[in-house]
């Protein structure tokens, strides 16, 4: 059985395309206060991903972070990370 390409795969593919090899993530419910602090203090752009907006928001946040040379922040619920999406067609 062929595994589908997911939102999580999409994000990792896009990060690899721009040369990102290391990630920082804070899993679980206790991460919310930390992520709120990050969101309000140091991030130039961010998005809360849903199944309907994930690929567009991933591309937007990464492009803005690269352009502004500032951190970007993505909130990706587990169910969204596992949702199937089309593979990116171009970098």
Examine the pLDDT at 80 and tell me if it is beyond 90: yes
In a domain? residue 6: no
Q: 18-67: per-residue pLDDT in tens?
A: 998 877 776 665 555 555 665 566 667 888 899 999 999 999 999 999 99
- Asked if residue 54 lies in contact with residue 38, where contact means CB atoms within 8 angstroms, the answer is no
- Asked if residue 56 lies in contact with residue 85, where contact means CB atoms within 8 angstroms, the answer is no
pTM of the entire structure?
Answer: 0.80
DSSP per-residue codes, 3-16: PPPBHHHHHHHHHH
In a domain? residue 5: no
In a domain? residue 54: yes
Handedness of CA 26, 83, 14, 44 (dihedral sign): negative
In the predicted model, what is the mean pLDDT of residues 65-72?
A: 88
In a domain? residue 11: no
pLDDT of the residue at 10: 95
Find the domain containing 46 and state its range. 29-83
**Residue that wins the pLDDT comparison between 34 and 78:** 78
How many domains are there within the chain? 1
């Amino acid at each position: 059985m062929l595994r589908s390409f997911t939102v999580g795969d999409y994000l990792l593919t896009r990060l690899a395309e721009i040369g990102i090899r290391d990630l920082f993530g804070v899993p679980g419910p206790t991460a919310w206060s930390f992520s709120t602090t990050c969101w309000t203090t140091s991030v130039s752009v961010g998005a809360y991903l849903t199944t309907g907006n994930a690929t567009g928001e991933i591309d937007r946040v990464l492009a803005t972070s690269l352009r502004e040379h500032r951190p970007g922040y993505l909130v990706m619920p587990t169910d969204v990370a596992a949702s199937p999406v089309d593979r990116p067609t171009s970098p």
